[in-house]
Amino acid sequence: MSTHSTRRIVKPWQAVLMLLVGIAIIIIGLSVLKLNNRIVLAIDGVIMCVMAVLFGIKYDDLQAGIKETISSMIVAILLLFAVGVLVATWMSSGTVPFMIYYGMKLLTPSVFLPVVCLLCTFMSTLAGTSWGTLATVGVACMGVAQGLGIPLEVTAGAVVVGSFFGDKVSPLSDSPVITSSVTEVNMLEGIKHSLISTGPAYLISLAFFFVYGMRFGSGTVGGEQYNEILNTIGSLYNFNVLTLLPVVVVVVLILLKKPTLPTFVAGAATAVVVAMLIQGTSLVDTLKAMYSGFSIESGSDIVDAMLNRGGFTSMLSVVGLLIAAGIFGGPLRTAGVVEIFLEYIKKLAKTSKSMALLTMFFHAAFFTITGAYYVSYPVIGGMVKDLYPEYGLDKKNLMRSMLDTGTGLAPMVPWASTGAYTASTLGISNMAFTPYAPMLWLSIVFSIIISVTGIGLLNDTKQKEETPAA
């Protein structure tokens, strides 16, 4: 007999079987069959529902669980759409092109490597995309480096560090949006906390690029791609200081601790005004760009690839991924698989430090196997987030460790989609540039040190740091 106060869950052996089957489907679908991760997760969710029903769970409960899981992602979905709109308007207003144009003009041989890193950081942070930065500014910088005689693997390291630092800390990037959503953490506060591991690793990387690059004092910056980008962008936009107004608006509102969604809306609205007044773009064209993305035919393929991005529709695939992850994760939570898994984790983790370390290693292993942090974030994050308060840990710790072992680890794993894309785009193997991209692995090292020592671990206000779960 059951009542509304109790619910049926699967037996431990059934939970283990469901979890093993679920992980096997993900590995086979992504790594062996090379299927799209959305369809893999959706099919996996269907199979989890079938198994749960066979094990005695009511379908109505499973459907309610999926609905609840997806509903919890609504704010993240709205933020993703806002990011797409914001990026499109910032391209229309000339805000991002302004940063690219004058950033590239700062390039000189002796400071080439640190400036490349900073330039890719600005591009990735403002546009919210590491992939876009790699394929545009990154490719251009690789061409300049070849002309200057600077080792390409070191240049690739500078490009990768800048691109993925921006990806990890930009409120416009889907990585912080997704991790903040699954961990139920305020995104900007979570990004701020993630800087305790990523920040020092980034600064050490910059110092390395500066010292290493000092030996390349001769030569002149140039090259066909370099000149093509500057000449084309310079002819497309009217640049003056007002093109940076959208950035100022967003930064000021963030510093004033205003909510993220209205902040992005304000940044987009400001960019629309700048686009009309400074660039002479019509309101209709700007509104079209907000939906389908900024689009221009400049006559330069590399510039087109650099600028043509953003828009409401650009985020549909990521939103689809979140929904697919909800379809997969909902049945696991409803059937009690997550509860049983968490009980096992609690037997291994006796203190808050061991919990932080264990979940970080578990996420790193799951990501390395699947090669997709879009999968590992919602699956692992959704499973372990509720354990952190039990151990007196703030969930910001989980968001930080997942970013370090997800977005940070991704470029180094050759079979991961991001790792394969990075290597093929820059023309340098993952193992060749990894030693020259210290931020990627140093941030993981710093996160391990934080977990082991407890220094930097944020405590949940309701618990003491070293209180084990009951």
Which residues, at least 6 apart from 351, have a Cβ–Cβ distance to it below 8 Å?
391, 466, 468
- Whole-angstrom Cα distance, residue 266 to residue 264? 5
Domain membership of residue 299 (yes or no) is: yes
- For residue 102, which of 202, 279, 196, 243 has the smallest C-alpha distance? 243
Using a 10 angstrom Cβ sphere, with 0-12 exposed, 13-18 middle and 19 or more buried, the burial of residue 380 is buried
- Whole-angstrom Cα distance, residue 271 to residue 283? 11
Domain membership of residue 113 (yes or no) is: yes
Domain membership of residue 20 (yes or no) is: no
pLDDT, residue 74, reads: 85
Which residues, at least 6 apart from 259, have a Cβ–Cβ distance to it below 8 Å?
none
Domain membership of residue 103 (yes or no) is: yes
pLDDT, residue 61, reads: 94
Domain membership of residue 127 (yes or no) is: yes
Partnered with residue 459 across adjacent β-strands are: 393
- Whole-angstrom Cα distance, residue 114 to residue 111? 6
Helix axes 316-334, 12-27, angle to 10 degrees: 160
Domain membership of residue 43 (yes or no) is: no
For CA atoms 232, 237, 240, 245, the dihedral sign is: negative
Helical residues (DSSP H) of 385-437, grouped into ranges? 387-390, 396-405, 417-426, 430-433
- Whole-angstrom Cα distance, residue 12 to residue 393? 27
pLDDT, residue 47, reads: 97
pLDDT, residue 214, reads: 86
Cα-only R_g, the chain: 23
Total domains, the chain: 1
pLDDT, residue 220, reads: 66
State the residue range of the domain holding 259.
Answer: 75-309
Domain membership of residue 185 (yes or no) is: yes
Centre a 10 Å sphere on the Cβ of residue 67 and count the other Cβ atoms it contains. 12
Query: Is the CB of residue 350 less than 8 Å from the CB of residue 466?
Result: no
pLDDT tens track, the chain, 470 positions: 333 446 789 999 999 999 899 989 988 998 888 888 889 989 999 999 999 999 999 999 999 999 988 887 788 788 888 888 988 999 999 988 887 788 778 777 888 899 999 989 988 888 787 887 887 778 778 867 876 778 999 999 999 999 999 999 988 888 998 899 889 899 999 999 999 999 999 999 999 999 998 887 666 666 777 788 889 999 999 999 999 999 899 888 878 888 888 988 999 999 999 999 999 999 999 999 999 999 999 988 888 887 888 899 988 887 887 788 889 888 988 998 878 887 888 888 889 999 999 999 988 988 887 777 877 888 788 888 888 998 999 999 999 999 999 999 999 988 777 888 888 888 899 999 999 999 999 999 999 999 999 998 888 655 444 444 33
Question: Given its phi and psi angles, is residue 35 left (phi above 0), alpha (psi -120 to 50 degrees) or beta?
Answer: beta
Query: Is the CB of residue 393 less than 8 Å from the CB of residue 457?
Result: yes
pTM of the model: 0.75
- For residue 108, which of 156, 148, 142 has the smallest C-alpha distance? 148
Domain membership of residue 343 (yes or no) is: no
Helical residues (DSSP H) of 237-315, grouped into ranges? 245-255, 260-277, 283-292, 301-307
- Name the amino acid, one letter, at 85: V
